[in-house]
Amino acid sequence: MDDNGIPNPDADMEITAEGDILGFGSADPKGEKNFFDKTIRTWHGRALLISREEGKAWLR
């Protein structure tokens, strides 16, 4: 959401994940983070998180 509360699906923002991260990224071709960082910047409003909880893998 922007400052006026209007959803912007293409907004790039920093997001943080917690837990057992198997992979976390945004497909940004110029990104410099590795896939195990807990904080990334979205690319065109998108990111992908793969985590594990109690022996199960989750794609979110």
Where do the structural domains in the chain lie, given as residue ranges? 14-59
Q: pTM for this structure?
A: 0.67
Spatial separation of the C-alpha atoms in residues 22 and 58, rounded to whole Å: 9
Q: What is the Cα 8 distance to its own chain's centre?
A: 16
pLDDT for 7: 80
Q: Judge residue 40's burial from the number of C-beta atoms within 10 Å of its C-beta, 0-12 exposed, 13-18 middle, 19 or more buried.
A: buried
Spatial separation of the C-alpha atoms in residues 5 and 50, rounded to whole Å: 29
- The token duo for 3 is 């400052």
pLDDT for 59: 61
pLDDT tens, position by position, 4-58: 888 887 888 888 988 888 889 888 888 777 888 899 988 888 889 888 877 666 6
pLDDT for 21: 87
